[in-house]
Every structure is written in C-alpha cells, then in structure tokens.
Structure 1
Amino acid sequence: MKLKTSIKLMYSIITCFAISCNSMDPIPTDNFTDATFWQSSANAELVVNMAYNQMYSADKMWNDEALSDNIFEGRSNTNQRSIRNGLVDPSLGLFSSEWGDIYAGIKTCHVFLANIDRVPNIDRQLKNRRIAEIRFIRAYLYFRLINFYGDVPFFSSDILLSETNSIKRTNKTVVLQFIHDELSAISSILPSKNQLSKLENGRITKGAVLAFQARANLYEGNWQKTANYCDSLINNQAIYGNYSLFPNYEGLFQRENENNQEVILDYSYVPSLKTWNKLYGAAPLSAGANLNAYAPLQSLVDNYLTINGKTIAEDAHYSADDPYKDRDPRLAATVVFHGAKWTAFNGNIQTIYIKPGTGNNAQERLDNYSGPSANSSSTGYYVKKYYDRSASVTFESSLNIFMFRYADILLMYAEAMQELGKFNASIWDDTIRKIRERAGFTSSDALSYPSGATKEQLSNIIRNERRSELALEGLRYYDIIRWKAGKTYLDGPVYGAKFSNGNRDYIRLDNRRFDENRDYLWSVPQSQLDLNKNLLPNNPGHSN
C-alpha cells in the first residue's frame, strides 16, 4: 500500500475535528467540514492513511537508534544525545514532541472510529477491515507510549479538551491488557499476507497482529506467550501467511526486493511523494553525503563475530591491525568501515578511505577521520544499511522501513525458549543457524549448536545475535531497557575506531550516564505537568 495522502489536507481535517468545528458554519468550497467529510468513503480512506502515517516513520526509527549504544550523534547536542549523557529534565523537547505526536495519532484513530458509521454505502467487509487496521495502529501507538513513559493517560474513545486537563495516568499493565485484547479481537477480521493483492502491500495483516503480540509479550518478559505467538506464526502459515528469510541479507534492504517473504509489516514510502533522507548525514562524504551527523560506534562493530563464529576476543586469528577481515558479513552490509566498498548511485564501486592519511586524492580523503568535530565521521564509521541506490543525490529515499520481519520472530522465539529453559540444538538449528546461514556463515563452529555453553553464555549469544541481525532497525534501545541492562550498555565512555593519537588509540567520545533509578522511563513532559497536576507524581528520578 502506497500512502499518497495529502498531508496538508489531512492536518486541516484533523485540526477541524480536534476543535470540534461548528456545524452551523457555512460549507467552504475549498475544504471539508465535519458535516460533509464523512459522506465519502474516499475521505474515510484519507483518515486511515493519515493514521498509518502517524504510526511510525524512518525518522522515528533512526532517532530510536540514537538512544542506543549503536549510534553516536556527533554534529550537535540532540535530545537523544542529552538523554544518553544524563542531561535530562521534564522540559526536554523530545519528551514533549514524542508525547504530542503519539496522542495526535491516537486522536486520528478515535476520530475515525467515532465517525466511520456515518459514511453511506461503504462496503461492510472493507469497513470492518479498516476498523481493525485503526485499532491495530492505536494499540501500536499506546505501546510506544508506555514503553517511554510507563503509566499514561489512557482512553479508548475521544475525550473533551476539558478532560485532557484533568485525566489521571492509567497503570501500564492496564494499557498492556487493552493492547493484547485489541489484537486478539481484530486478528480474525484481517487478511493473511497471502490474501493481499499487490496494491495492498503494506497493509496490516493477521501476521502483523501475531508479530506485535509476540513483541509486546517479549517486552513484558512473558516468555511462554512470546514463544506461543512466534510458534504460531512459524508453523501455521496457511492461516497467517507464508514467511521465511529472504536469501540475501544485504539485498533485504534494497528497494528492488521490497515486499519479499521476510516482510511482516513495513512503513511505506513513495518515490518523489513521500521520502526520507537520514543517510544524507550518515553515508560517506566521498559518496555525496552531507556533513556527518550520525555514525556507528565501536561497540557495534565489535559485536560482530569473526567468520569462525567466535567473538574478536576469542578468535586467535583476529588482528587489531586488520580488524574488518574475516568478519560476520552483516558487518559490511550494515557499517561502512575503512577499506569497505561502496556502490555509487551511478553503479560505480569505490573504496572508502577512513583511516587518517589514506586515499589517493582529495575526493577519496574526504572520509578520513580528522577529529570529533570535523565534517567527516566522528567515530570513524559510516552507515550502509538502508542505503537506497535509487535515491536522489541528496539521499532522498523511498525505501520502506521494517516494523516487523521474520528474522525477528526467529530471534524472539529463540530468546523466549532459552528463558524458559527449553532451548536446545533443534531450536538452534531452526533459528540461530538459519539466520547465520542466510548471513553468509559457512564454518561449522559458527553454525553448530554450542553444546558446551552455560545458560548465561547461551543467553549472551542469542542477545548478541539479535544485535548483529537487527542493528540500525530501531530495536536495540528497547532491548536494553527490557533487559534492565542500562548500566551495562549505556553508561561510561563511548568509543570510535582506532584512529586517535596516530592510530594508536580508540577515538573517545562522550561519557554517557545512565541512572538506574531514573532512565528506564522518560519524564512526563513539563508542558503537560503544567496543564494537569493529576499527572503527578512524575516517573521516578524526574522532578515534579
């Protein structure tokens, strides 16, 4: 589904709904009123498309990555960087903008649900399906909200402006139960992936509902239900759709392979009409990118195994002088390191020179590391994943963004079974081995079940596999938070490549601070606390 919504028109419509346009107003000739808008099924589709637009985006995915230990934003003191450095208070802009964006999306959903019955002559089956899609989107928005803020104002139908200034926060567990109940209720109404026409690609399906249920239970630590939902999606494809791993990892993130068998749900973009350009500030400068603002960290690079299936600390063949040789192929598909190959928009293949003093000419030396505040990467790395070779020269891309994909289902199943004490060689072969084979591993040491590993070691193997497979897809921060591992991954100095002090030392960047008593939840925005004292007390560690 390509959402070609007129954003300007839709914001006008939603604004009108939000302030309850007076039904006595004359009908304008260049716009709609509440009295006329719902007389058209095409207009109802516009609201559905608006809700899809508000559910997620590439910007949200990349900004979520910046909250993690995968990415460093070196160009400016962004809100994400402030959070990671422990410099937060309730007035931080991101706390307010995220809250406002989510509730705006929830508003759109409630407007649709309150008015869809007014549309004359709408096909009943289509109407029920669109209602189910809207309920999924609303559940997704509430899920994002509680993962940031914990207890939140909750309502399942539109409320008056006066009520917004007095409503209290609802316990997170109540909202989670609502999410699970909604997903259970809509699953039978939605089609499977196999039932979608080509024009419907990107629509919410039964498979997306199961994937969402699995993720919600994963974040709650409900391992049995996580395993059950994943197992259903894996083994009942006649009901939910045929899903499998796309055979080429790097190709998974190229536009010519969109809507392949691994996609469970993605966020759609449209050439020329709806695009994103985050890589303009993250790709190599010699490839035409702008000043670097967004770069992978050394800890992400170090997470990738050697081709022998060992960590860099375990593999005797690993050399710090040639650190990118014989590594997990997903590293080269995700991160641009010194000596990596880059395919330009015109199809030419170039070598990227990042190590100081390398490169044969001024153009090649554009990517050389020259300091944390230089135009080039502040970490000594650039981003490759989600590079759209068909994008414009300013990296305006129409590449869809994954929300749920099949590899994540396999990884969630592996983690849940491990936590339940049921993980074994058979499950390894059906999950981790398949993922590694698709990545390009061939060594038996990399592919065979580590029978001698302790439970803790096996848990770490699965966690690290998750990081390598899903890096730069917006999930790492939430994994760290649900593991209650903030001190492990989000505290202390962060490093870039070994390009400092004459290539003798790793680049040292920010000294991040994670407060165990505060940073697992965000503050309720100060603007909301000023309007509604019933939102108090604030989350632990944040001022009221």
Structure 2
Amino acid sequence: MKILNKYFAITALVLASGCRKLDIAPTDAYSVLNFWTADANVYNALNNNYSLMYNSGLYFAAEGLSDNAYSQTNTDLIQIASGNANAQTPKFAGDWAYYYSTIKSCNQFLANIDKNTTLGAATLDRLKAETRFIRAFEDFNLTKWYGDIPLVSTDISQDDAKTIARTPKAEVINFILSELNAIVPLLPSKDQLPAAENGRITKGAALALQARVLLYQGNRMADVATVCESLMNSTTNGTYSLNPNYSNLFSDPSTNRNNPESILSLQYVPATTRTWTDFWDFAPNSVGGRVNALAPSQELVNDYIMLNGKAITDAGSGYDENNPYTNRDPRLTATVVYDRYNWNSGGGVNGTTKVIYIKPGSDPTRPGPDEYSSGRQSSSPTGYYWRKYFDPSALANFTSGNNIHLFRYAEILLDYAEAKSSLGQMDATVWNKTIGALRTRAGFSDPAALNYPGGDVTNAIRRERRVELAMEGTRIDDIRRWKTAETVLNGYVHGAKFSGDPATDNGYIRAQLRRFNTNRDYLWAIPSGDLSLDSKLTQNPGY
C-alpha cells in the first residue's frame, strides 16, 4: 500500500471536539458529521493507522535490549539493559503511549466507518479487518512487555480512560486470537492483491501474527503447528516461499519490495515521501556512518555455525580464534561487518568499495576511522558494525526507502520447527522443510550441516532462529519467552578480541555490564504518570 504524504490528522481534531446539540454539517468543509461519508477520507484514516502500526526506531531498538547488540548512545536502552530501569524510565512511558495512541486511532476508525454508505459492505469489512489487525498487533506488543494491560476495544472517553483496570494477560491473548480468527475470512490472500496494494494486510499476515502470539505463550505448540501448516501447505492463504538470496531481502531495493518471502512489511517510499535513516548510526564511519548507536555483540557472532554444521565450540569444528570469520555461516557476512570486511556497496550516494579495518592499529590510513577505540562514539564499542539492511540506493545520510520486514516466511518455518520439536515430532522431513531449507538458502552445501542430526535439536533451532532473524527485533522476545534472559542478560556483553588484556575474558572487549532481575525484569513497569492518572491501575512487581 502506498503511504500518503499527508497523514490523516483531521479525525483526531473533529472527534475530540465532540458533538453539540443542533450541530449542522457545514457544506463547505468536513466535520464530524460528514467526514466519513467521503471515501477518500476513509482511506486516509486507514493509511494513518498503517503509519502508526510500528516504526523503525522500535524495530531496531529491540536489538539493543537483547544480547544481540549494545547501544552506547541510547540512555533508555543502557538503563534497561543494565538493570537500572524504574517506573520513570522514558521508554516504558513512550512505548506505552505509542501503542495506546494507535489503539485509540483504530477504535475511532471502527466506531465511525459505518457512516460511509458508498464503499460497499465487503470493502468496509475488509477495511475494518485491516484495522482490527493493527489494533491486535498493538495489544500484543503491550501485553508481551507489560503483562496485564487495560484492554480497550471501543473508543472510550478521557474520563473512562482514568478508571480502567488491567485485564489479565490470558484474556488479552484470547481477545487477540479471536480477533485474528475473525478477520482471516474478510481479508484477501497475498495472491489476490494487485501491485498497487502491496503492503496491505492479508490473510497471511493475520495467520503469521497468530502463529507468533501462540508461540510466545509456550503451551500452544500444537496450535502453532496447525497455523504454520495453513501457510506452508495451502495456497488459499497466499503463496509464500524463501527468497533465493538472503542478503537481497534487506538490501536490494527491487527484491526488498517484491519477493515471495515477505508476509507483512513496514512500507516506505524512496526520496522524501516516507523514509528511515537509522542505518546512518549503524554503518562504519569510513562509508558514511555518523555515531555508532547500535553495535552487534560477540555473543551474536559466536552463534553463527561453521560451514560443516558445527558450533565454533564443538570438537572438530575447525574454528580458528585467530581467523574467526572464515568458513562460517554465510549469513554472518550478510549481517555483521567485522575486521577486514570487504565492503562493496554497489554504488549510490554512499557507494564505495573498501576494506573495513576495525582492529586497533590495523588501518593503513591514520587515524583509522573505523578502528575500535574505547569511548569514541563514532566507532563501534564492540568492534562490529551492521551490514544487514544496508541500502545501496540510499540517499545522503543513509536515507532509505527500503521496506522493513515485520513477518517473513522464514519465521513461519522457524515457528514450525520449534513447535514440532517441542511436541516431540521433529524428524528428517520437518527438518528438511525448515532448518535444512533455511541453511540451503543461506549457502550451506555440506550434508553435515543440512541433514537432520537426530536427537534433541532445541539448541540448534534456537541458534538458527537467532542468526536468521538477527537485527529484526525478535531476539529479546525469544529469550524472554524461553526464560533464558536471566542467564544471557546477566554479565558482560562482549565485543571482538581487541581489549589487549588476555587475563580479562580472554581479551574480548567488555562492552557493558548487564543485570537482569528474574523477579522483576520479565515485565516492564507501568509508567508512573499513568498510575497517577488512573486509580485502578496497579504496578508490576519490583517497581
């Protein structure tokens, strides 16, 4: 769907003004009485809800909350990751307000759209279904972070908002799932979308969100498998497959916007219409980066297996700590920039081909702009930069119009593998359809890496999920639902072996000391400002 230049603002204005007795609709302007009668206004309102659904900042910041990355510039991420967050932490309040403002906009849309009498019942049902998806997505984000939340399914007044209690998480999840079940029949499949409607919510998107919601509950694995099979084995809900090239999904503009793998993506429009610039603070300085605001961790790098299918710590893996990036999963090179990386951008404003020197003292050009230097914010605090989502066609300052993927078919395969393994139903057939297929697409060819190894493959599936979805914002969700956050988020997050002190963590950079309180940090604090406004709100434990 093309996102319009002008976001729909008049709705909030006219709806907030309320109605007075004897209101008469003006004949020369739209009012609350006649706004929804115009088809263009309805679509503008829908486009506004799409624009509010999610954004690049939320997407990438989630990596900095996990063990995949470290932010040296975002004070909220630093505070949360170090275990020092409290009910006044701005991100807790900002995310809460963001999701609820989107829910408010969706509820206004649903409360008023039936005033339109010209679009037709089937069209209105579809527009409602898209909006209900967006609202369900916001509810899911809220409940996964805050647990019990106020469930707001109608357009309530400000006074009502001050007296609403938290709904148990189980009820919120049931509401989300019932909404998704209800809207699937009302939505088109991906195959039914004309090109001009690419990016609109489809049956596949509703099922992909349903699979994620079910997976995150931990005790609904049979249902997860069923939903995934409805996408893997049936064309009724859309035809999906893995794109042949992993890197191109994120970087090649034509593939990024039109590929068989994308189920739902945030839609951006190149030039000045709708763009994002986050990569400006992810890229090496020598190719146009600014400050380094989000750096990959050594822990992430360590989870990329060898080409023979072995983890770097396995006997016989062939891993060489002095030459650590050779014979590794090709997705490492597609995702992370490491020392002596061959950066080839393929032209564009930020176009350059060069070797990225990161190890201190290694760059023939002095001073080395990308070399690790403790405390220098223009360089990476871990000795790694991001490559994934680099857009070779970006304008100055990495202004990109490439889409950001919310749901990919690869995630469905990973969901299915995890569900079948959890149910004790993993076998060679399931493995080949899921992990084997992902590794084949990544570029593995050794049968030892591709064939089903037998036995307990839980760790292999989790590692596969981590590297396939790195930089896509889901790692923090995974370690929270697996209840491994208390392990992987306690202690130092590390960088490359550049510290110079072999007595400290074998010479690997200590980027940040992290603390995760098992009794508190699996939930975020309800913002203190909202607690003061709503007498029925209660706080999560430990805050």
TM-score, normalised on structure 1? 0.94
2:228 to 227, 230, 233: 230
Distance in 2 (CA, whole Å) between partners of 1:375 and 1:281 is 9
Structure 1 segment 90-489 matched on structure 2, within 5 A = 90-221=87-218, 222-237=220-235, 239-253=236-250, 254-257=252-255, 258-271=257-270, 272-314=272-314, 315-344=316-345, 345-346=347-348, 347-362=351-366, 365-451=368-454, 453=455, 455=456, 458-489=457-488
CA deviations 1:213-260 (Å, max 9, x no partner) are 1111000111000011001110012x0111000001111112110221
1:444–1:431 distance in 2 versus 1, CA, 3 Å: same
Structure 1 segment 20-39 matched on structure 2, within 5 A = 20=18, 32-39=30-37
After TM superposition, give the deviation of residue 109 of structure 1 in Å: 0.8
1:30–1:282 distance in 2 versus 1, CA, 3 Å: farther
Distance in 2 (CA, whole Å) between partners of 1:446 and 1:252 is 23
After TM superposition, give the deviation of residue 24 of structure 1 in Å: 6.9
After TM superposition, give the deviation of residue 96 of structure 1 in Å: 0.8
Equivalent AA in structure 1 for residue 334 of structure 2 = A
Q: Is 1:496–2:500 an aligned residue pair?
A: no
Alignment partner of 1:367: what SS?
A: coil
Equivalent AA in structure 2 for residue 533 of structure 1 = S
Question: Which runs of 5 or more residues in structure 1 are unaligned?
Answer: none
Distance in 1 (CA, whole Å) between partners of 2:51 and 2:513 is 36
After TM superposition, give the deviation of residue 18 of structure 1 in Å: 3.6
After TM superposition, give the deviation of residue 160 of structure 1 in Å: 1.3
Alignment partner of 2:171: what SS?
A: helix
After TM superposition, give the deviation of residue 187 of structure 1 in Å: 0.6
After TM superposition, give the deviation of residue 126 of structure 1 in Å: 1.6
Q: Say whether the 8 Å CA contact 1:55–1:137 is kept in structure 2.
A: yes
Q: Say whether the 8 Å CA contact 1:277–1:396 is kept in structure 2.
A: yes
Q: Say whether the 8 Å CA contact 1:5–1:46 is kept in structure 2.
A: no
Distance in 2 (CA, whole Å) between partners of 1:158 and 1:19 is 14
After TM superposition, give the deviation of residue 502 of structure 1 in Å: 7.1
Alignment partner of 2:93: what SS?
A: helix
> 1:42 aligns to what?
40
Equivalent AA in structure 2 for residue 475 of structure 1 = T
Distance in 2 (CA, whole Å) between partners of 1:459 and 1:508 is 29
Alignment partner of 1:180: what SS?
A: helix
Q: Say whether the 8 Å CA contact 1:499–1:505 is kept in structure 2.
A: yes
1:304–1:45 distance in 2 versus 1, CA, 3 Å: same
Distance in 2 (CA, whole Å) between partners of 1:340 and 1:124 is 56
Q: Is 1:515–2:494 an aligned residue pair?
A: no
After TM superposition, give the deviation of residue 30 of structure 1 in Å: 10
Between 1:498-507 and 1:200-209, the stretch displaced more is 498-507
Identity of aligned residues (%): 44
Equivalent AA in structure 1 for residue 228 of structure 2 = C
Distance in 1 (CA, whole Å) between partners of 2:451 and 2:63 is 31
Distance in 2 (CA, whole Å) between partners of 1:170 and 1:340 is 50
After TM superposition, give the deviation of residue 372 of structure 1 in Å: 3.5
After TM superposition, give the deviation of residue 350 of structure 1 in Å: 1.4
After TM superposition, give the deviation of residue 509 of structure 1 in Å: 1.7
How many residues matched?
532
Equivalent AA in structure 2 for residue 506 of structure 1 = Y
Q: Say whether the 8 Å CA contact 1:338–1:353 is kept in structure 2.
A: yes
After TM superposition, give the deviation of residue 19 of structure 1 in Å: 4.8
After TM superposition, give the deviation of residue 110 of structure 1 in Å: 0.8
Q: Say whether the 8 Å CA contact 1:372–1:509 is kept in structure 2.
A: no
Q: Say whether the 8 Å CA contact 1:13–1:32 is kept in structure 2.
A: no
After TM superposition, give the deviation of residue 490 of structure 1 in Å: 1.1
After TM superposition, give the deviation of residue 29 of structure 1 in Å: 10
Q: Say whether the 8 Å CA contact 2:55–2:266 is kept in structure 1.
A: yes
Between 1:403-412 and 1:370-379, the stretch displaced more is 370-379
CA deviations 1:169-195 (Å, max 9, x no partner) are 111111111111111111111111110
After TM superposition, give the deviation of residue 373 of structure 1 in Å: 3.5
1:81–1:158 distance in 2 versus 1, CA, 3 Å: same
Equivalent AA in structure 2 for residue 336 of structure 1 = V
> 2:11 aligns to what?
13
> 2:49 aligns to what?
51
CA deviations 1:110-138 (Å, max 9, x no partner) are 11111111123123222111011011111
Distance in 2 (CA, whole Å) between partners of 1:28 and 1:358 is 71
1:115–1:432 distance in 2 versus 1, CA, 3 Å: same
TM-score, normalised on structure 2? 0.95
1:332–1:23 distance in 2 versus 1, CA, 3 Å: farther
Alignment partner of 1:535: what SS?
A: coil
1:82–1:30 distance in 2 versus 1, CA, 3 Å: farther
1:32–1:69 distance in 2 versus 1, CA, 3 Å: farther
Distance in 2 (CA, whole Å) between partners of 1:381 and 1:20 is 53
Equivalent AA in structure 2 for residue 495 of structure 1 = H
Distance in 1 (CA, whole Å) between partners of 2:283 and 2:534 is 43
Between 1:15-24 and 1:340-349, the stretch displaced more is 15-24
CA deviations 1:416-438 (Å, max 9, x no partner) are 00000111111111110000000
Q: What RMSD in Å do the two structures reach over aligned CA positions?
A: 1.8
Between 1:464-473 and 1:494-503, the stretch displaced more is 494-503
Question: Which runs of 5 or more residues in structure 2 are unaligned?
Answer: none
Q: Say whether the 8 Å CA contact 1:52–1:137 is kept in structure 2.
A: yes
After TM superposition, give the deviation of residue 316 of structure 1 in Å: 4.3
Q: Say whether the 8 Å CA contact 1:41–1:120 is kept in structure 2.
A: no
Equivalent AA in structure 2 for residue 110 of structure 1 = N
Equivalent AA in structure 2 for residue 487 of structure 1 = E
Alignment partner of 2:406: what SS?
A: strand
